[in-house]
Amino acid sequence: MSKEHIVSAFDRDLEAIQAQIIRMGGLVEEGILEAARSLDERDVERAQAVRQADRAVDELEEIINDKCARLIALRAPTAIDLRVVLSVMKVAGNLERIGDYAKNMAKRTGVLAELPPINGAHASLRRMAREVQLLLKDAIDAFIQRDADLAKDVIRRDHDIDQMYNALFREFLTFMMEDPRNITPCMHLHFIAKNTERMGDHVTAIAEQVVYLVTGERPDENRPKADATSTDAALGQVQKD
């Protein structure tokens, strides 16, 4: 078998895998928006559909990882090509985690539907989720197009997600101090906001992977985070990834 034929076969296999990354990204984007919509509209049935749909995301991650492993074993990729394959697996892993956070948002919808609504909170969370979804769309586009500039823009824009989370955190504290009856719903809403902020971190990880893939250089791992709540004594123990 000629070298050209092997390279062509590798490229075809990689394109097929990347097509599944696009599909996986689309499912995760839809999950983010539908989870936020179910929360905003207090729609328990829609939230349940989001939880069920997450299975398809998990299955796609397994399929992608299996195909990447086979590609490495059968095609013996060069160092550069191997970096591409490993990047695909990392992107799939980050997409799976984002899907989990969307599922967690949907899980809390049923609980919150039984609690008094917090004025404006659900709509604010829906806007924050929308921004994360748009960020994810650009990160996937950057990965497919190998666009380092777009990826760097995604990394910069994650700062806006952090700022939205900080504002929501302060609002929830205010609501809880004003009326103890708000404590339970605000705690649930805080965890949703924190999960949404963590979605943004995983989107950023995808963008950082693109920069490394294209340039061979890793972005500054010590980039400043705009989440100021972790140093606030009122926060207590935040939910960990």
53 domain-assigned: yes
88 domain-assigned: yes
153 domain-assigned: yes
Q: Both tokens of residue 140? A: 């996937």
Calculate what percentage of the chain has a pLDDT beyond 90.
75
Domain region containing 129: 3-231
Q: What is the CATH number of the domain that holds 222?
A: 1.20.58.220
Please report where in the chains the tokens 């092997």 appear, as a residue: 6
First-to-final CA distance of the chain: 47
Class of residue 55 by CB neighbours under 10 A (exposed 0-12, middle 13-18, buried 19+): exposed
**pLDDT-based confidence at 237, cuts 50/70/90?**
very low
Q: What is the DSSP string of 192-237?
A: HHHHHHHHHHHHHHHHHHHHHHHHS----TTPPP---GGG-TTT-S
94 domain-assigned: yes
241 domain-assigned: no
236 domain-assigned: no
Q: Residue 223 CB: number of other CB atoms within 10 A?
A: 12
Q: Both tokens of residue 172? A: 């929830």
Q: Model-level pTM?
A: 0.87
Close Cβ partners of 75 (under 8 Å, ≥ 6 residues apart) = 6, 9, 10, 13, 81
71 domain-assigned: yes
219 domain-assigned: yes
Mean pLDDT within 83-88: 92
How many domains in the chain?
1
The 10s digit of each residue's pLDDT in 186-230 is 999 999 999 999 999 999 999 999 999 998 887 765 555 666 565
